[in-house]
Each structure stands twice: as structure tokens, then as C-alpha cells.
């Protein structure tokens, strides 16, 4: 039982941390070759605005979740509005599952087959989603306690090989805004898009405090910047854009003779994998909640088993890394919908609700 709003904030921060450091830097390096902070700044501003609008809309209709709110527009519209959400999160799980297991085989489980890692990841996500949101929120708190220190430690040490001159020029004379419509940039927005929808589905036992959420959001800004700027300052754009996982390569270059361990990448990777598993769990839980509302007759557990099995099968069916990249490109419209339009609709419905409520009080 959490009345202060910490759990929701921690869950939000943890889900994003699990996403930021892996696929995001490489997408951004492909999309832009100078002035990376402008790209990060624009996407971050959009994220903050979307988050604020979404939460504001939710607070105006207290005690209700997004599904109930959308329902007030009529059944047809509810289906129309929520089916893209369902598809987006389904594909998000498939992509995360596949990409993260490829990454794990690349970094340290080189002889483990992909399906085993994927099965493990989705298995844990299944357990989490089965236990429900309250237990996931508590898990989030536990994960933060366990893994913040290794992550911060590694992030501090990764400054070992930076060359600050790579920061220059701050604004290039030939800086343009063409990157905004590049597919790679739009793909990179996935870290900003999919991590806050679950806030609208939280059970009433977990409170959301707008102020704490905004503080959590502020905490993410240095993480977005570090994930891109650590590789950039170590390798420079020309080299960094060649790596599939620039952040992991950066940490691989750190050489500490006094530390017992040769590679600190493992600490970083495993800590963030724990966060990513929570993200998978939360996303699976979103799918479960949405399906449950659509087809209430089937018991939760069976629904969850069907969902998990289906997602696992689809992610197994992806032939290779290139296809995964293409898949990320195809869902750009869905991503923009989740990122910008859903918060806006929530805001409008919330505003109308508030308006109606204040009018009824006036009448009485």
C-alpha cells in the first residue's frame, strides 16, 4: 500500500533505465552526426510534455483508469483507440525480447541459444505479470535498492577515456533539423514513448504524485544524455556510429587495475537487465489488463499463458537482426500515436470530465 507516490515513480524510472542504454544510442548515432543534444533535448521535451498532459488528464478523473476514461466516449471509440495501443505494446515486447537476447549472446552468453534466453526473459516477465501490479511495484523498489550502486559506479568509471573536445562544436554551423523526419530518429523515440502508459492502468492502491513523477522524469535527463555522450566522448561520432551497442563498448574500454574483475560491463549489463525484465513484466501486464477488459470471461492466468506463448512464438519467428530493425521502422506510426496522441486524448477527456463535474456542482 503506497500512498506517497514513490512506487509509481520508481517503476517509471526503472522501466526507462532498462531501455535507455542499449538500443537508443546506436539509433541516435545513425540518425544524427552532430549536435546530439538538440535531438535528445527535443525528444525529452516532448516526453515531459506528454507525461505531464497524460498525468494531468488522469488526475482530473480520479479513481478511474484509461480504459474507463476512453469508455466514456462509447464502445466503438474505445476499441478504435485501444487496439493500436495493444498492438504497439505487443510488438514492443517482441522487439525488446529479441533485441535483448541477441545482446546477451553478443556480450557474454555466446554459446547459449537465443531461444533459451528469450524463454528465460519472457518466463520471468510472465511470473511478474501473473503476480500483479502491486508486487511489480514492490519489486521495482527492491531492484533500485540492489542495483543503483553498481550502475552509478560503472557510469562514473566510464568517464575514464573521455576526450572532452568531442563536445565541440556545441552548435555546428551546418546544423539542420532534417534528422527529425529520419526513420532512425523516429525509431529512437521508443525509449520516450512506451514507458509511461502503464501509469493510467495502475490499481487505485498505487498512488501517483505529479510532483514526484516530474522529479523522476528530471532524473532521467542525465541518463539520456550519458547514454549518448559517454560513447560520443570516448570514440567520436565517426567510430561510435559503427557499433551496435555503443554504450557497452564504452564500458568495455574502461581499464581498472585495482578492481578484482576484468570487465565491469557484466555488472552494468546485468543490473540493467533486471530493470529491463521489470519493463517486460509491466508491458505484459498492460497487455493482460487490456485483454481482460475486452474479453472478461477468460480467467487471468489462461489469458496470460496465451499471450506469453504467442509473443514468444512471434519473437522466435523473427529471422534476423535486420528484420528486427525493419519491424521497428514499421511501427513508427503506432509509436507516435502512443507517444503523443494517447496522452492528448486522455487530457481532453479528463478536461471534459472536470468541466462537467464543476458544472454539476454549480447546478446543485
Partner 1 sequence: MNKSDINNSHMDNPAKPRTAIKLILLLVGAVPLLAGCWDTKDINHRSLPVIMGISLTEENQYKVFLDIPATNETSSVNIVSETGDTINDIIDDISMNMETQVDLLHLKIVIADKNVARRGMEDIISAFNRSRDISSKTLLAISDQPLDQFFSDMEAKSEQNGSIIYDYFEKNAGWNPQLADTRVWQMFRSIHSYTHDVIVPIIRSGQSTSIECLGAAIIKNGRMTGQIGTDETLVANAFYGKSAFGKIEVMDSATVQITSNRLSHHSWLQDGKPYLRSHLRLKVTILDSRGHPTETQIKEKLEELLTLRLNKMFRKTQKEQADILALGQYFRKHLTREQLQDWRSGYYPNLDFKLRITTVVENRGNLKHL
DSSP 169: -
Interface region with partner 1, contact rule CB under 8 A, candidates 53-61, 131-139, 209-217, 318-326: 131-139
Q: Which of 138, 201, 192 is nearest to 6 (CA)?
A: 138
What is the Cα–Cα distance from 285 to 135, expressed in whole angstroms?
Answer: 12
**Those residues with Cβ within 8 angstroms of residue 13's Cβ, 6 or more apart along the chain or in another chain:** 144, 216, 219, 220
What is the Cα–Cα distance from 51 to 110, expressed in whole angstroms?
Answer: 39
Which phi and psi (to 5°) does residue 24 adopt?
Answer: -60, -50
Question: Considering the complex, what minimum distance in angstroms separates the CB of residue 235 from partner 1?
Answer: 5
Is residue 202 within 8 A of residue 208, CB to CB? The reply is yes
In residues, how long is the chain?
364
Write each residue from 157 to 196 as x if it is in contact with partner 1 (CB under 8 A), else as -, in one continuous string.
Answer: ------x-xx-xxx-xxx----------------------
Q: Does residue 364 belong to the site contacting partner 1 (CB under 8 A)? A: no
Question: Considering the complex, what minimum distance in angstroms separates the CB of residue 83 from partner 1?
Answer: 26
Residue 1 vs 156, nearer CB to partner 1: 1
- What grid cell was written down for 16? 526507462
Interface region with partner 1, contact rule CB under 8 A, candidates 69-77, 233-241, 281-289, 311-319: 233-241
What is the Cα–Cα distance from 274 to 278, expressed in whole angstroms?
Answer: 7
- What grid cell was written down for 77? 471509440
Q: Does residue 255 belong to the site contacting partner 1 (CB under 8 A)? A: yes
Residue 203 vs 329, nearer CB to partner 1: 203
Is residue 67 within 8 A of residue 82, CB to CB? The reply is yes
**Residue from 30, 72, 73, 239 in contact with partner 1 (CB under 8 A):** 239
What is the Cα–Cα distance from 5 to 13, expressed in whole angstroms?
Answer: 13
- What grid cell was written down for 299? 480467467
**Residue from 75, 257, 358, 361 in contact with partner 1 (CB under 8 A):** 257
**Residue from 75, 76, 258, 295 in contact with partner 1 (CB under 8 A):** 258
Residue 91 vs 122, nearer CB to partner 1: 122
Question: Considering the complex, what minimum distance in angstroms separates the CB of residue 165 from partner 1?
Answer: 4
Please report, as residue ranges, which positions from 194 to 213 form the binding site for partner 1 (by CB under 8 A): 203-205
- Where does this chain bind partner 1 (CB under 8 A)? 1, 33-34, 105-107, 109-113, 116, 120, 127, 131-135, 163, 165-166, 168-170, 172-174, 203-205, 235-236, 238-239, 242, 249, 252-253, 255, 257-258, 262-263
Amino acid at each position: 500500500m503506497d500512498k506517497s507516490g514513490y512506487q509509481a515513480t520508481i517503476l517509471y524510472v526503472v522501466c526507462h533505465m532498462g531501455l535507455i542504454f542499449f538500443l537508443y544510442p546506436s539509433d541516435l548515432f545513425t540518425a544524427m552526426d552532430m549536435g546530439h543534444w538538440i535531438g535528445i533535448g527535443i525528444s525529452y521535451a516532448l516526453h515531459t510534455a506528454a507525461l505531464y498532459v497524460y498525468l494531468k488528464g488522469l488526475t482530473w478523473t480520479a479513481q478511474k483508469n484509461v480504459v474507463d476514461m476512453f469508455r466514456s466516449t462509447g464502445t466503438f471509440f474505445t476499441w478504435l483507440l485501444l487496439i493500436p495501443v495493444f498492438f504497439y505494446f505487443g510488438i514492443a515486447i517482441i522487439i525488446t525480447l529479441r533485441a535483448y537476447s541477441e545482446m546477451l549472446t553478443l556480450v557474454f552468453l555466446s554459446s547459449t541459444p537465443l531461444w533459451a534466453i528469450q524463454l528465460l526473459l519472457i518466463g520471468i516477465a510472465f511470473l511478474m505479470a501473473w503476480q500483479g501490479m502491486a508486487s511489480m511495484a514492490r519489486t521495482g523498489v527492491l531492484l533500485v535498492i540492489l542495483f543503483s550502486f553498481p550502475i552509478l559506479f560503472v557510469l562514473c568509471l566510464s568517464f575514464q577515456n573521455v576526450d572532452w573536445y568531442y563536445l565541440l562544436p556545441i552548435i555546428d554551423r551546418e546544423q539542420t533539423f532534417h534528422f527529425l523526419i529520419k526513420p532512425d530518429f523516429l525509431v529512437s523515440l521508443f525509449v520516450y514513448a512506451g514507458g509511461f502508459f502503464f501509469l493510467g492502468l495502475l490499481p487505485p492502491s498505487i498512488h501517483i504524485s505529479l510532483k514526484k513523477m516530474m522529479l523522476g522524469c528530471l532524473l532521467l535527463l542525465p541518463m539520456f544524455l550519458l547514454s549518448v555522450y559517454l560513447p560520443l566522448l570516448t570514440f567520436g561520432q565517426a567510430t561510435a556510429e559503427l557499433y551496435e551497442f555503443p554504450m557497452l563498448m564504452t564500458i568495455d574500454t574502461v581499464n581498472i587495475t585495482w578492481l578484482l574483475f576484468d570487465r565491469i560491463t557484466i555488472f552494468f549489463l546485468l543490473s540493467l537487465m533486471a530493470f529491463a525484465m521489470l519493463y517486460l513484466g509491466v508491458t505484459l501486464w498492460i497487455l493482460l489488463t487490456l485483454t481482460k477488459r475486452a474479453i472478461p470471461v477468460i480467467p487471468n492466468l489462461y489469458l496470460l499463458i496465451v499471450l506469453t506463448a504467442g509473443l514468444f512464438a512471434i519473437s522466435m519467428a523473427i529471422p534476423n537482426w535486420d528484420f528486427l530493425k525493419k519491424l521497428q521502422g514499421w511501427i513508427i506510426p503506432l509509436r507516435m500515436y502512443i507517444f503523443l496522441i494517447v496522452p492528448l486524448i486522455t487530457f481532453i477527456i479528463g478536461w471534459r470530465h472536470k468541466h462537467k463535474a464543476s458544472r454539476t456542482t454549480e447546478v446543485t
